[in-house]
Amino acid sequence: MEAIVQTVQRMSSPGRLSLFARLSGCPKSEVSPAPEENNGTSSAAFVDFKDEEQMWDTKSQGSISSEDCSELAVFSCARQRPKSQQQLWERDEMISALSTLPAGKVAISLIPSLYGEELCKILHKTKTLDVTDSNCRSHRLSTPSFDNGYIRKASLAAENEAAAAAEPEELIAKWPNTCLLVSCFFGNFDLAKHLLSKGARVDSCDGDGRTPLHLAASSGSVEIIEELLKHGAKPGEWDASKRCTPLHCAAAAGNVRSVKQLIKAGADVNAGLEVKSPLHYAVLNNAGDCVEALLEAGASANNPQVYTETPLHVAASLGSARCVSLLLNHRAEVRVQFGNTRSTPLHLAAEEGSVECTKLLLEHKAQWDAKNSRGQTALHLAALAQSAETMDLLIKAANDVNVLDDNGRTPLHAAVAKAMRGGELVKALIQAGADVNKPDKYGYTPLHIAALNENSSLVLLLLANDADLTARTIGGISALSFIVRRTPDVLPKFLGHLDQAISLHDHELGDVDCELRLDFKPLISGGRGEADLLLCLIDVGQRHALQHPLCESFLYLKWLRIRKFFLISLFFHSIFAGVFTAYILIQFFFHKENLGNLLRWPVLGFTCALACKEIFQIAHGITGYAKRWENWLQWSVIISAGSVLISSGGIWSHHVAALGITLAWIELMVVVGRFPMFGLYIQMFTQVSINFFKFLGAYSCLIIGFSLGFTVIHQDYKSFKNPFVGLIKTIVMMSGELEFEDMFWQDSNSIINYPGTMHVMFLVFVILVTVILTNLLVGLAVSDIQELQRCAGLERLIRRAELVAHLESLLFSRLLDYAPIKIVKMCRKGALLLHPPYHCAIHIRPNDPRDNRLPKDLVKAVYNLVIKRKQRGKVTRCASTRSINSMEVGDIRLSRLHSIPSTSEYNRQQIMELAAELKKCSGKLGAQLDTLTSKVQLIIKEMEHST
């Protein structure tokens, strides 16, 4: 093979350089291309072309909901794009097949160099020699691999040795068929014509069944094809694998003259239509002239098989508008689907981003809503291809831009998933009516995907078009959670948007009739409730946003709106606690069974009502229900009340009654704590209780140790005769109830059994537990209370937001959709504060004492916010004025500098460049302007020194 390359490198004509590119595999840019002929011959017929890179291939299998979904993949739509300029055989394959012929290697090394005078001399010498082929008995020159293979291989080796030692004219004379095949492969017309005139066989072929006509058509040599046809070559001859005819080779080479010549000779234009016809290869190589010639000769634009790749698929995938137009004009079917992907030509054109092909297909009634195997339409693929022009055409043709694929994703999901031209595509889809809050089957909305891709500009664009921050995936992850973790730079802009929602509506700020407008629209999510966004801010750690005057005002007004529901709940629990207490006292304290039987039914009714309420909450959402300890307390009350009602006799019923009545009043305390007036105190109690039990758990070993020690030593003391009672006594002793004298001297005649040890243990207990441990507990409780008081305002807002969101989630539960419509509608309307899209704001007069819709401190905060924003606006305008003035001064200084004569052209050029740079930076801050101006002054000083 090295000898072949060295031989080819010695060639100097343009045609030979092109041949060298084909043989050596060098890129066309490294080899001087051959002059293009009018017949459209391709100069790179055997150059390998690599596949185009796949569009993008990501996985979306299984439920995507966990937090480790930062590598979330939302689409999978890669396909194998066909190779352009694709040939039927690889270059190395053809050279290898020719090398296995008798004298093949020598012929491949020699024939490419036989041109001009040298060839004429050799041909003149061959006239005196007999042209005979040692293998003329068979036109197939391959080496067999059967029983006689070793004999034939030995014979072939001997022939190759003889050919290597032979002169060129002897090689041509003794192996004419081999030389004919090689000359057709390299396009050597003179040698091929001479061999044909001397009787070389036109039906000879290599081991793969390629005839001289196949090779000539592949090389695009029209003259050789014509000569072969004159000598009886068959234009419909197949190769050994029944893969192609010479017409296939000519179409693959893109030589229109060869194609027309073969068609004129009677070649079948539809040969191999079931697999790949000549038209298929012509389209594959974007040879428009060949496509036109084949179609005019009667080539079928469609394949007879279902789900096969038609020429129109190939043309659309390559973006060849001319081929697509030719095929459509010859009645190519636009609806046929290809392969396992079920792609139509419109799918492939959209995926390629070809505007012209897409337009042609739509004009010929291509179905825009046809879906491939993934359920994707052409609109999905155009969005993935980031082709705005193609998408505009499809949007105009489409009736629905919210069409879903198999994963429930719309074209907007696809547009957001790509970050190159995503903003332009997203705007186009939204203007066409795309739903920005449409979730896929995993719960991901376009906002989730934009945040996961860390595309802040798209996140802001979607938010500006009412994207829902509270939308959650199947796993319960909100879009706001993704934004906080992946695009945190959006949060300050979101808070700034809250500032803009408070504005001056009428009159000046100091006027008595001044009116401020509070627009709550930024706080309204796309869900059924109005407090979902506030609850979401708490969940993602942005609870400080609740202290914004807009949020605080909204929560205050919202609480006024829904507190009636909490009053009803308080009234219900109060009656239940009172009736249940009366029943317990009458039944277990006064022992009046008749009166107890009368109260049994009211208690049973209230208990059943409580149980139904809790069952409804479980059905609404068991996960969130199980996390709230108040619900467990409520079930304890229900179970204890039910147990007492079932049977009021026996010792165990007294135990249950005692626990039940205690838990009922604790539950009533929790309900009272839901009101803002008492909420902080109940929260203090709850927090201190939790910390106490944590504290007790940490020092439980110390307390248990002392209780067991006292049990052993103080056996005569009643409280320590039982170890479990002794543990309780030890805990009580922590409060200061030591009973020193009773433990050591129960009476005047008592004797201390274990003196010394008893005294030491008691003293150590007093120091470690009663003094140190108790004071630690008190200090911890004081610290917790102080911290709660310090954060009382924020904690109050958080608690209010949680209560409002919880009540709204129950009122707007889908389970209530089956309840009486009038009652449910009335309750829901009573819970809503706003009525979007038009009634989402309120107007307040901060200087009017009669306006008491908001507390005075909250009105003051709103008023101050507007004043600060107005002051910032004034500062910004002043800064802009100073910047403009500084630019004007800079221009004056520059004009003065330009007027200074200079003897150095180089320095003058520097001044011009700095002046241009200053003009480009005119919009920047004054500091940068001063820096550039100082550079100019330095150059002027150097010029003055030089003069």
CA distances, 729 to each of 183, 695, 702, 737 (Å): 113, 18, 14, 9
- Measured from the Cβ of residue 667, the count of other Cβ atoms closer than 10 Å reads 20
- Asked, for residue 887, whether it belongs to a domain, the answer is yes
Same domain membership, residue 669 and residue 705: no
Q: How far is residue 658 CA from its own chain's centroid?
A: 58
Q: If we measure between CA atoms, which residue out of 557, 570, 536, 545 comes closest to residue 831?
A: 557
Mean pLDDT per 10-residue run, the chain (947 residues)? 40 33 34 35 32 34 40 45 59 77 78 73 64 45 47 70 73 80 83 80 83 86 86 85 87 88 87 85 88 89 81 90 91 87 91 90 90 91 89 89 92 84 83 91 93 90 89 89 91 86 80 84 77 86 87 88 86 90 86 80 90 86 81 89 79 85 90 78 79 82 87 78 85 77 62 74 83 81 74 78 83 78 81 74 84 86 85 63 51 43 46 58 57 69 62
pLDDT of residue 748: 55
CA distances, 238 to each of 137, 242, 256 (Å): 21, 5, 20
- Asked, for residue 658, whether it belongs to a domain, the answer is yes
- Asked, for residue 565, whether it belongs to a domain, the answer is yes
Q: How far is residue 501 CA from its own chain's centroid?
A: 31
3-state secondary structure of 320: coil
CA distances, 868 to each of 418, 502, 854, 932 (Å): 40, 12, 20, 35
Label residues 96-110 b or e (16+ Cβ within 10 Å = b).
ebbbbbbbbbbbbbb
pLDDT of residue 761: 83
For residue 143, the one-letter residue type is: T
The residue assigned the tokens 């999901």 is 413
Given a contact cutoff of 8 angstroms between Cβ atoms, the answer to whether 108 and 100 are in contact is no
Q: How far is residue 573 CA from its own chain's centroid?
A: 49
- Distance of alpha carbon 168 from alpha carbon 674, whole angstroms: 107
pLDDT of residue 448: 93
Same domain membership, residue 582 and residue 676: yes
Same domain membership, residue 681 and residue 608: yes
- Distance of alpha carbon 449 from alpha carbon 439, whole angstroms: 10
Same domain membership, residue 587 and residue 686: yes
Task: Name the token pair of 729.
Answer: 């006594």
Q: Among 658, 691, 724, where does a domain finish? A: 691
Label residues 897-926 b or e (16+ Cβ within 10 Å = b).
beeeebeeeeebebbeebbeebeeeeeeee
Same domain membership, residue 930 and residue 878: yes
Phi/psi for 83 (5° steps) reads -75, 135
Q: Among 756, 790, 824, where does a domain finish? A: 790
Helices 256-264, 246-253: crossing angle, 10 deg rounding: 160
- Asked, for residue 888, whether it belongs to a domain, the answer is yes
- Distance of alpha carbon 881 from alpha carbon 18, whole angstroms: 67
- Distance of alpha carbon 66 from alpha carbon 473, whole angstroms: 9
- Distance of alpha carbon 456 from alpha carbon 454, whole angstroms: 6
Same domain membership, residue 636 and residue 590: yes
Same domain membership, residue 670 and residue 699: no
Label residues 49-87 b or e (16+ Cβ within 10 Å = b).
eeeeeebeeeebeeebeeeebeebebbebebebbeebeb
Same domain membership, residue 666 and residue 565: yes
Write the CB contacts of 844 (distance below 8 Å, at least 6 apart in sequence). 515, 516, 518, 851, 853, 854, 859, 862
- Asked, for residue 642, whether it belongs to a domain, the answer is yes
- Measured from the Cβ of residue 612, the count of other Cβ atoms closer than 10 Å reads 10
- Asked, for residue 749, whether it belongs to a domain, the answer is yes
- Distance of alpha carbon 282 from alpha carbon 287, whole angstroms: 5
Write the CB contacts of 230 (distance below 8 Å, at least 6 apart in sequence). none
Q: Which residue range forms the structural domain that includes residue 739? A: 692-790
For residue 120, the one-letter residue type is: C
Same domain membership, residue 685 and residue 732: no
3-state secondary structure of 825: helix
CA distances, 675 to each of 323, 531, 564, 678 (Å): 75, 17, 11, 6
Q: Which long-range contacts (CB under 8 A, 24 or more apart) does 564-570 make?
A: 564/830, 565/807, 565/811, 565/827, 565/830, 565/831, 566/674, 566/675, 566/803, 566/807, 569/671, 569/674, 570/671, 570/672, 570/674, 570/675
- Distance of alpha carbon 857 from alpha carbon 552, whole angstroms: 11
Given a contact cutoff of 8 angstroms between Cβ atoms, the answer to whether 335 and 367 are in contact is yes
- Measured from the Cβ of residue 143, the count of other Cβ atoms closer than 10 Å reads 14
- Distance of alpha carbon 494 from alpha carbon 462, whole angstroms: 12
Full strand arrangement of the beta sheet holding 515-519: 502-506, 515-519, 841-844
- Measured from the Cβ of residue 165, the count of other Cβ atoms closer than 10 Å reads 10
Given a contact cutoff of 8 angstroms between Cβ atoms, the answer to whether 473 and 444 are in contact is yes
Given a contact cutoff of 8 angstroms between Cβ atoms, the answer to whether 268 and 237 are in contact is no
The residue assigned the tokens 């910004």 is 876
pLDDT of residue 377: 92
Burial tier of 317 (Cβ tally within 10 Å: 0-12, 13-18, 19+) = buried
Same domain membership, residue 658 and residue 683: yes
Check the CA dihedral 769-775-780-781 and report its sign.
Answer: positive
Given a contact cutoff of 8 angstroms between Cβ atoms, the answer to whether 228 and 202 are in contact is yes
Phi/psi for 808 (5° steps) reads -65, -40
**Cα end-to-end distance, the chain, whole Å:** 72
- Distance of alpha carbon 347 from alpha carbon 372, whole angstroms: 8
Write the CB contacts of 168 (distance below 8 Å, at least 6 apart in sequence). 110, 114, 122
pLDDT of residue 422: 64
**Kind plus residue range of the DSSP H or E element containing 505:** strand 502-506
Task: Name the token pair of 878.
Answer: 């002043």
pLDDT in tens, 641-667: 888 888 766 678 888 888 989 999 988
pLDDT of residue 739: 72
Given a contact cutoff of 8 angstroms between Cβ atoms, the answer to whether 117 and 123 are in contact is no
- Distance of alpha carbon 275 from alpha carbon 749, whole angstroms: 118
Same domain membership, residue 704 and residue 657: no
pLDDT of residue 444: 94
Calculate ∠ Cα 171-172-176, nearest 5°.
Answer: 115
629: domain CATH number?
A: 1.20.120
- Asked, for residue 729, whether it belongs to a domain, the answer is yes
3-state secondary structure of 67: coil
- Asked, for residue 873, whether it belongs to a domain, the answer is yes
Q: 0.85 cut: is pTM over it? A: no
Burial tier of 511 (Cβ tally within 10 Å: 0-12, 13-18, 19+) = exposed
Q: Among 790, 825, 848, where does a domain finish? A: 790
Same domain membership, residue 708 and residue 643: no
3-state secondary structure of 317: helix
pLDDT of residue 878: 60
Rg (CA), the chain: 46
Helices 311-318, 321-329: crossing angle, 10 deg rounding: 150
Phi/psi for 518 (5° steps) reads -110, 110
Task: Name the token pair of 230.
Answer: 């004159």
For residue 554, the one-letter residue type is: F
Looking at the structure of the chain, the number of domains it has is 4
Q: Which residues pair with 503 in a beta bridge?
A: 517
